[in-house]
Amino acid sequence: MFISIVAFNSCQKEETSATVDEVTVSQQETQTEEALADVDALTDEAVDLYASTLKSATISESAYLSDCPTITVNKTSNPQVITIDFGTSCTGKDDKVRSGKIVITSTAFNTFPSVRDFTFDNYIVDGKKIEGSLSKTINKDQENNVRTAVISENITITFPNNEGKASRMANTTRQYQRNKLLNPADNQIVSWGTSEFTKVSGVKLSKTVTSDKPLVFKISCHHIVSGVVTLTNDKRTWTIDYGDGSCDNKAVLTEDGKSKEIKIK
């Protein structure tokens, strides 16, 4: 997913802290948010399929996992380890191409509350390389089929086509709302919290998402479909409104009382 930029010059220089293209930097921050939501949804599928004591789910019902990643589970180690190895090229059911590995460790994958730690080994998705680590402390509401995780992120992402590199430090809360059992495409991830997004050029964004207007990442759409973020750089502040829940390519960027529609692909 990326935000189309009208009259964008491919030779445009990297932003500096004094001159920030709010559309471009918002585009990359959104790409990072979605890439990490993808990691959450995809690894949840792997845990449910390969580490759960319930064996009713199959890859044929998955929203992400195709038959090309090699998934190994070591339940005898402490902590337990799940490795998702995409090899040199693996196209998922979301049509994204991945390579490298995601490694998840936990003292117990099947009990709650639990802690899951994630690391990345040369992991690349659609040209974006994700490095670093994240940790999730997960609780489960069995009656409503909702998992809630408190997440700490320390991530670096390298964008394709020489578009630069950025780090993301975040403390967020995510709810994994599983609506229809055994139908992962019906699930959604609801997120709120704060993060810092810093490009190697020195451009730094502070992001806030409140619990009353959270980001909603719909699995069937593989994109953020609603929610509002507030982004701040030095003395500039703007918002992005991702819409009403429809799976479309529109969002609204507002700064200084002026709004414009931006296209999301």
Instruction: Please state whether the peptide bond connecting residue 113 to the residue before it is cis, i.e. omega within 30 degrees of 0.
Output: yes
pLDDT at 178: 73
pLDDT at 96: 93
Instruction: Indicate whether 6 belongs to any domain.
Output: no
Residues 6+ apart with CB under 8 A from 44: 176
Instruction: Indicate whether 4 belongs to any domain.
Output: no
Query: How many domains does the chain contain in total?
Result: 1
Q: Is the dihedral of CA 23, 29, 32, 38 positive or negative?
A: negative
Instruction: Indicate whether 2 belongs to any domain.
Output: no
The secondary structure of the chain as a DSSP string is --B--TT--TTPPPP-SSS--HHHHHHHHHHHHHHHHHHHHHHHHHHHHHT-S-----GGG-SS--S-SEEEEESSSSSEEEEEE-TT-EE-TTS-EEEEEEEEEES-SSSSSEEEEEEEEEEEETTEEEEEEEEEEEEEETTTTEEEEEEEEEEEEE-STT--EEEEEEEEEEEEE--STT-GGG-EEEEEEEEEEEETTS-EEEEEE-TTS-EEEETTTTEEEEEEEEEEETTEEEEEEEEES--SSEEEEEETTEEEEEEB-
Instruction: Indicate whether 204 belongs to any domain.
Output: yes
pLDDT at 50: 74
Report yes or no: 228 and 236 within 8 Å, Cβ to Cβ.
no
pLDDT at 7: 35
Using alpha carbons only, how large is the chain's radius of gyration in Å? Answer: 18
Print pLDDT tens along the chain (265 aa): 444 433 333 334 344 444 568 888 888 999 999 999 999 989 988 888 876 654 444 556 678 888 899 999 998 888 999 999 999 999 999 999 999 999 999 988 888 899 999 999 999 999 999 999 999 999 988 777 788 999 999 999 999 999 899 999 999 999 988 765 555 557 899 999 999 999 988 899 999 999 999 999 998 888 899 999 999 998 799 999 999 999 887 889 999 999 998 876 6
pLDDT at 121: 98
Domain that holds residue 44: 22-263
Closest CA to 131 of 162, 151, 154, 99: 154
pLDDT at 16: 45
Q: How far apart are CA 221 and CA 122, in angstroms?
A: 26
Instruction: Indicate whether 142 belongs to any domain.
Output: yes
Report yes or no: 33 and 224 within 8 Å, Cβ to Cβ.
yes
Instruction: Indicate whether 117 belongs to any domain.
Output: yes
Instruction: Indicate whether 3 belongs to any domain.
Output: no
Q: Which two three-digit tokens encode residue 123? A: 């992991």
Instruction: Indicate whether 120 belongs to any domain.
Output: yes
pLDDT at 27: 85
